[in-house]
Amino acid sequence: MSTTAFSDQLIALLPRLRRFARGLAGSAVEADDLVQAACERALARSHQFQEGTRFDSWMFRIVQTIWIDLIRSRNVRQEEAESEGDRIGTDEPVRRTEARIALKEVMVAMADLPVEQRTALLLVTVDGMSYKEAAEVADVPVGTIMSRLARARVALQARLEAGGLRRSRDDAEANR
């Protein structure tokens, strides 16, 4: 593959890589760093890409490998969302706060999932890949992706429901 064609494919894939990295890392800053590291590695090792194989699968695998290396070498820091000024006279601040809380709950619950389940969930539900495509990226059989995805969904739902029950009890105690 020519250098120009390689670069063009890489540039076209950046939004999907960033979305995947954001799901793994949980923050835009870390996701950008992860995608940059993956692009650097891909460019340095472009000769290792095999013509006739899926470029996106190769790149997703690079992102996943770098992420696994990062979480093995250090603890991932959770970044708090920036606070925004309230707008007087609307319920927008309340809706934004509720949306942030819900998103944070999902991110925390996803972070508790094993890496394999989180990867399957991100590839299929966030990036919209088919089971077959996700299996190629993760380099596992399709049945394994289906199993990991099913377990991830059940575990995520259980964690979110448990969090909701804790909030309800905390609210009830606070109102006494």
The CATH code of the domain that includes 16 is: 1.10.1740.10
User: Is residue 40 domain-shared with residue 115, that is, in the same domain?
Assistant: no
Looking at 43, 75, 107, which one is the last position of a domain? 75
Looking at 49, 75, 101, which one is the last position of a domain? 75
DSSP 30-43: HHHHHHHHHHHHHH
Q: Quick check: is 84 in a domain?
A: no
pTM of the model as a whole? 0.52
Count the domains in the chain: 2
Q: Quick check: is 109 in a domain?
A: yes
Name every residue whose Cβ is closer than 8 Å to that of residue 103 and which is 6 or more positions away in sequence.
none
pLDDT band at 163 (very low <50, low <70, confident <90, very high): confident
Range of the domain at 147: 92-176
The per-residue pLDDT for range 12-21, each reduced to its tens digit, is 999 999 999 9
The CATH code of the domain that includes 168 is: 1.10.10.10
The per-residue pLDDT for range 114-162, each reduced to its tens digit, is 999 999 998 998 888 899 999 998 899 999 999 999 999 999 898 888 8
Is residue 118 within 8 A of residue 68, CB to CB? The reply is no
Is residue 84 within 8 A of residue 96, CB to CB? The reply is yes
